[in-house]
């Protein structure tokens, strides 16, 4: 069997030699070129399992090669070599589709881990997307788009932020990203940031040494180290207090943690996924979430649609939930009567899929004769919420909030005679936050 091939794109002979020696020791076959044009020619004619490219090249920017590969060789993972501390360039590369990045001076141990993960990804690229298909239910356009996005972001190591209302299944999406990517054999560690007491948060996330504080009777491994080689899912990341946001930002930037009481940092190899039902951009504008952390965790954003936005998926979801509940209760699977299904299809579901499960569990308990009827499902009134069939026409809650925000920004700009600095001050946000919102909302 032929050794996996790696294309190295760098115009510094010393770096090329170092990378080639390292790759050969990993039983890989390196090929080095010094320009983007040469790399493109080889990628068109030969098979590669990974591309490592520098950012500064004689004929073009390394980001141009990353973008070109997403169109011409999307199955080949590409990692970029950046200058030390150049976080902005690394984030831009990840947004364009890079698998990961490594900084100069090269940390060979970290480089080997990156290369091993990328080669594993390339080797598993057989076009089989069934890993997430059966568990992410729904045939609506919204869910098909979400599946496609999961497949795409799973191939990267970029941080992903999953947003959506409570009960939409954000943790399931995070698990599917993990299971669909090269880290699937590593641990998936979910943590609810809002459920950890503030005084214990640093110890829980980063660990501690014995005797570092009262009650620290033994060394404790933090959740970051527990997720080594896998994925750490930070649910409700918006609930992190500001002092922990600072520490999290450093961990993401340095790829290392320092347990409480430890003098040195410990290197970690963990992919960060996060989620919240709140608007991080609004929290940034209000000064309750750090802007620099926002840009690091929100490199790629995935939105999970609310159930009322996809009423055509309700029949399939209801059928699967009834089957699962019947199996758990050890009873024959009940049927869903037409009147009950019609009511569910026009219900707004403030609690989303989680609420559908609760409704059907209660309905099974109340039903008789092996069928769930309209009288059994007991839908709660939801004043002020449009029924599901009208949700798209009326616009979702997120759209309404964006309209309000857009109107407030436009009025502030007019009042300040389009001086963005003055408008940002009047709105109580930073200039950068205002500039981001203007771009996001498409304000001219």
Token pair for residue 46? 């030969």
CA-based diameter of the chain, in Å? 78
How far is residue 290's CA from residue 284's CA, in Å, rounded to a whole number? Answer: 6
pLDDT at 66: 93
Q: Which of 385, 170, 411, 163 is nearest to 282 (CA)?
A: 163
The β-bridge partners of 160 are 273, 300
All residue ranges of the chain with pLDDT < 50 are 125-134, 384-395
Q: In the prediction, which pLDDT does 192 show?
A: 94
- Residue 389: the pLDDT is 45
Q: At what angle do helices 431-441 and 397-415 cross, to 10 degrees?
A: 120
What per-residue confidence (pLDDT) applies to 395? 46
Burial grade of 214 (CB within 10 A; 0-12, 13-18, 19 or more): exposed
Structure pTM?
0.68
Contact 359, 318 (CB under 8 A): no
3-state secondary structure 219-274: CEECHHHHCCCCEEEEECHHHCCHHHHHHHHHHHHHCEECCECCCCCEECCCEEEE
Please answer whether residues 356 and 169 qualify as being in contact, where contact means their C-beta atoms are separated by less than 8 angstroms: no
Question: What residue ranges define each of the domains in the chain, with the CATH number in brackets?
Answer: 5-123 (3.40.50.2300), 144-303 (3.40.50.300), 307-393 (1.10.8.60), 396-441 (1.10.10)
pLDDT of residue 50: 93
Cβ atoms 7, 29 nearer than 8 A:
no
* CA separation for the pair 264, 314 (Å, rounded): 52
CA distance 77 to 123: 11
- Residue 260 is encoded by which pair of tokens? 């409480």
199 conformational bin, left if phi > 0, alpha if psi -120 to 50, beta if neither:
alpha
Q: List all residues 6 or more positions away from 13 whose beta carbon is below 8 Å from its beta carbon.
A: none
Sign of CA dihedral 59, 64, 69, 71: negative
CA atoms within 13 A on the CB side of 260: 22
Long-range CB pairs of 143-147, under 8 A, 24+ apart, other chains included? 143/305, 143/310, 143/313, 146/173, 146/302, 146/304, 146/305
**Per-residue pLDDT at 119:** 85
d(CA 4, CA 120): 10
Collect contacts of 128-132 with beta carbons under 8 A, ≥24 apart: 129/180, 131/176, 131/179, 131/180, 131/184, 132/176, 132/179, 132/180
Buried b (16+ CB within 10 A) or exposed e, 282-302: bbbbeeebbbebbbbbbbbeb
Backbone angles phi, psi at 349, to 5 degrees: 50, 70
Q: How is the beta sheet containing 29-33 ordered, strand by strand? A: 29-33, 5-9, 50-54, 78-82, 100-103
**Tokens representing residue 90 in the block:** 């690394």
> 259: closest CA among 270, 247, 242, 269?
247
Instruction: Report the distance separating Cα 196 and Cα 190, nearest Å.
Output: 12
């Amino acid at each position: 069997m032929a050794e996996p091939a790696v294309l190295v794109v760098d115009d510094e002979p010393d770096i090329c030699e170092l990378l080639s020696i390292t790759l050969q020791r990993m039983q890989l076959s390196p090929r080095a070129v010094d320009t983007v044009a040469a790399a493109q020619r080889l990628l068109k004619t030969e098979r590669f399992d990974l591309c490592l490219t520098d950012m500064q090249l004689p004929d073009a920017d390394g980001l141009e090669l990353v973008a070109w590969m997403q169109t011409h060789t999307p199955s080949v993972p590409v990692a970029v070599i950046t200058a030390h501390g150049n976080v902005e360039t690394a984030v831009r590369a990840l947004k364009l589709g890079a698998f990961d990045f490594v900084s100069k001076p090269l940390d060979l141990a970290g480089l080997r881990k990156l290369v091993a993960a990328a080669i594993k990804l390339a080797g598993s690229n057989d076009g089989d997307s069934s890993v997430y298909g059966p568990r992410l239910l729904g045939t609506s356009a919204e869910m098909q788009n979400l599946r496609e996005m999961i497949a795409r972001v799973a191939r990267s190591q970029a941080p992903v932020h999953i947003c959506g209302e409570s009960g939409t299944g954000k943790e399931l999406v995070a698990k599917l990203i993990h299971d669909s990517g090269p880290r699937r054999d590593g641990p998936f560690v979910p943590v609810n940031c809002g459920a950890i007491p503030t005084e214990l948060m640093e110890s829980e996330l980063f660990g501690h040494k014995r005797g570092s504080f009262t009650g620290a009777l033994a060394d404790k491994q933090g959740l970051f180290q527990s997720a080594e080689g896998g994925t750490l899912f930070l649910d409700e990341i918006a609930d992190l207090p500001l002092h922990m946001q600072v520490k999290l930002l450093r961990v993401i930037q340095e790829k290392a943690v320092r347990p409480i009481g430890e003098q040195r940092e410990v290197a970690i190899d963990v992919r960060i996924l996060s989620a919240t039902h709140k608007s991080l951009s609004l929290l940034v504008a209000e000064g309750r979430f750090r802007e620099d952390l926002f840009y690091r965790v929100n490199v790629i954003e995935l939105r999970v649609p609310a159930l009322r936005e996809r009423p055509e998926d309700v029949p399939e979801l209801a059928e699967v939930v009834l089957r699962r509940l019947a199996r758990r209760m050890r009873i024959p699977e009940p049927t869903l009567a037409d009147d009950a299904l019609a009511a569910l299809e026009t219900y707004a579901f403030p609690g989303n899929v989680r609420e559908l499960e609760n409704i059907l569990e209660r309905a099974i308990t109340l039903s008789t004769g092996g069928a769930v009827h309209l009288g059994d499902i007991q839908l709660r009134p939801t004043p002020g919420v449009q029924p599901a069939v009208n949700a798209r026409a009326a616009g979702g809650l997120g759209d309404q909030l964006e309209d309000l925000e857009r109107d407030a920004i436009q009025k502030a700009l007019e009042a300040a005679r389009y001086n963005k600095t003055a408008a940002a001050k009047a709105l109580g946000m930073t200039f950068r936050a205002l500039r981001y919102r203007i771009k996001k909302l498409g304000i001219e």
